[in-house]
Structure formats: structure tokens, C-alpha cells
Chains A and B, each alone.
Chain A
Amino acid sequence: MSIIEEFDKAFQLVDRYEEYKLFRAWGIIFVITGVARFLLGFIIWNLFYLIYTSMNNNFNSGALMIAVFNSVVSFILIFSLAVIMIYTYLSIRKTTIKDGKLISSKILYSGIALAILYFLTFILQIPGSVYWEEVIAIFICYFILKRGLKSDFKEILYLGVILFVVSIVEFIGRVFLVLYFLYQPLFTPLWIIFYLMIGFVFMIPYIITGLRIFRKGSLILEEG
């Protein structure tokens, strides 16, 4: 076998390894996102709310504090994820030889674009729902990955579809809660139970998607 053929074979293996790393990184990111969003975004959020309102017995100031706290938690969480994504793509390179150097190609720029997009989509939250922007971010992520990579990330598409359905359920639930609120001032316990369930339902697809992508990465490495 000539050196050229050996190089060709080596690059195929290198590409497969990069793909494996990419899938594993995405898998981990989704599992972390699911768990962190549920824990930080819901449990701490509501515990804080309960403690604050029970201490002050003042719903309006409590709601304001929750909004501020939620924004800070979301900012930290999403900023951290954006950093993880940028780091992931900086460490994963599509190998090519140019001018005697092994260089990285557009996979890097896709990663940075995704991280910025993800960050902005979460920060510029669409009024009326806390989950719609997440669904939009997931779909855009899928299309960017599909354009930039040869890898198949169908799990991300499925995640977007599931989150979309959950968002609709959440929206309908909100409408009912508002109606309930009009006739029942002490709606807080129901509100919390509803959001606990929605938060939990939102977490599960993230974790399943993450584990599936992670597993796919291992299969890529083993089977080729």
C-alpha cells in the first residue's frame, strides 16, 4: 500500500474519531441541559418563591424577585452551556492538510455559530412562554448541524418536535391556570405542581436524547 493510501485510510479513521467525540460531547451537553434546567430553573426557582412569599406574604414583590432570580439563573446556565459548546468545537477538528499544517475546517465555525445562537435565543426570551425559545433553538441547532456536518443528528430533530408538543401543553395549561386564578386567589400550589410536571416532562426528552446521541457516538467508534 502506498503512503498516499495509508494517509487516506488514516484520515478516514481520524474523521470517525472526530465524529465520535462530537456525538459524545453533544450527548453530555443535552443530559446536563436537561438536568440543570430542571433543577435550577424549576426546583430552586420555586423553593425560593415559596420561602420568599411565606416570609413576606407579598405576592407582587415575590414575583419580581423570582423574575430577577430566574433571569440570573438562566443567564448563568445558558452562558455555561455556550462556553461548553465553544470549547467542544474548539477541541474537535476536521483534519485537513494545508501548507504543511494540519488545520481545522468549518466545523469550528458551525460550533461557534451554534453557541452564539443558543445563547441569544435563551437570553432574548420570547414573552408569554419560557419554553418556546428553547424549541426554536433546538430546531435551528439541528438545521445548522445538518448543513455543516455529514453526521446525522436526527435525535435533535425529535427532541425539538417533543419539546414543541410539550410547549403546546404548557400553553394550554397556562390558559387554564389564568382562568383558575380569576376564580381562585390561592392558586399557587396548583401552579407549582403544574410547573413541576412540565419541568419534569421537559427534562426527560433532553436526557433521553443526550443518552441516545452519546450511545450513537460509541457505536460510531466501534462499528465504523
Chain B
Amino acid sequence: MKKDDGDLMDKTTQTLPSNELFITSVRLTIMILLFNHKKINFTELQKLLKLTPGNLDHHLKRLEGANYVKTYKKLSSLRRPLTLVEITPYGKKSFKEYITNLRDVLNNIVLSSEK
């Protein structure tokens, strides 16, 4: 990596909008997936993120606490109980705002580096 690129990356890291809940890749992944798919099976999420049920539950509880997601149980078409995680309208709006802010900051940094 060139020195300029490194400086730009440091600058980016310092100025990016920080949302405490999205600072880990686990919660970021959950939010991006839910943003795209609206709801996801708990077990699939657990396998994808390679987490224990308790660990995933901890992350989900934090997102639930902020009213970003909700979890509920449902019977599948094969009559098996499923736990589903769904994004709330507030969660969707908040995540969209976060992404928009992120884009603005990145754009500003790129513009300032070009000057």
C-alpha cells in the first residue's frame, strides 16, 4: 500500500460515522443481510457467522435492544420450529442513514485527497 493510501485509510477510519452497534463485522453482516432479505433463519445465521447460539443471541439482543431487529418463533412447512430474525422498519431506516453517512464521508475524503 502506498503511503498516501495509508494516510487516506487512517483519515477515513477516524472520520467515519460511528454507530456503536455496527462496529463489529458480526452485527454489520446481520444488518446487511436483513436489509437485503428482511428476515433470516437463526440457524443459518449461526452457521454463517460460526458462532455459538448464546453468542449470536447476545449480538441479536443488542440489536433488539436498539429496536433494529426482532426475533420470533414459527413452524416451518415441515412442522419444525424455526427461530427467525427480522429487521424492523426503524432498523431499516437507521441502517440506511448509516450507509448514507458513510458514503458522504468517503466521498468527502476522496474529494479532499484529489484537491
Residues of A within 8 A of B (CB): 1-4, 6-7, 9-11, 13-14, 16-17, 20, 91, 93, 95, 97, 99-102, 221-222, 224
Cβ–Cβ contact A3 & B48, under 8 A: no
Closest 6 CB pairs of A and B: A100-B100, A10-B28, A9-B25, A2-B13, A100-B103, A10-B29
Instruction: Please indicate the chain A residues that have their CB under 8 angstroms from the CB of B16 in the complex.
Output: 3-4
Q: Which secondary structure characterizes the binding site on chain B?
A: helix
Cβ–Cβ contact A6 & B33, under 8 A: no
Interface size on B, residues (CB 8 A): 27
B1 interfacial by beta-carbon distance below 8 Å:
no
State the CA gap A122–B94 with chains docked (Å). 46
State the CA gap A16–B29 with chains docked (Å). 11
State the CA gap A100–B93 with chains docked (Å). 12
Cβ–Cβ contact B103 & A93, under 8 A: no
Residues of B within 8 A of A (CB): 9, 12-13, 16, 18, 22-25, 28-29, 32-33, 35-37, 44, 47-50, 96, 99-100, 102-104
Could you give 28 example pairs across A and B, Cβ below 8 Å?
Answer: A1-B25, A2-B12, A3-B13, A3-B16, A3-B18, A4-B9, A6-B22, A6-B24, A6-B25, A7-B25, A9-B29, A10-B25, A13-B25, A13-B49, A14-B32, A14-B33, A14-B36, A16-B48, A93-B36, A95-B36, A97-B103, A100-B99, A100-B100, A102-B35, A221-B44, A221-B47, A221-B48, A224-B50
Instruction: Please indicate the chain B residues that have their CB under 8 angstroms from the CB of A6 in the complex.
Output: 22-25, 28
State the CA gap A1–B24 with chains docked (Å). 9
Shortest Cβ distance from residue A180 to the other chain B in the assembled complex, whole angstroms: 46
**Nearest residue, chain B, Cβ from A11:** B32
Q: Which of B22, B25, B37 contacts A91 (CB 8 A)?
A: B37
Q: A3-B13, A7-B28, A102-B35 are in contact. List 6 more A-B contacts (CB 8 A).
A: A3-B12, A4-B13, A4-B16, A95-B32, A100-B99, A221-B47
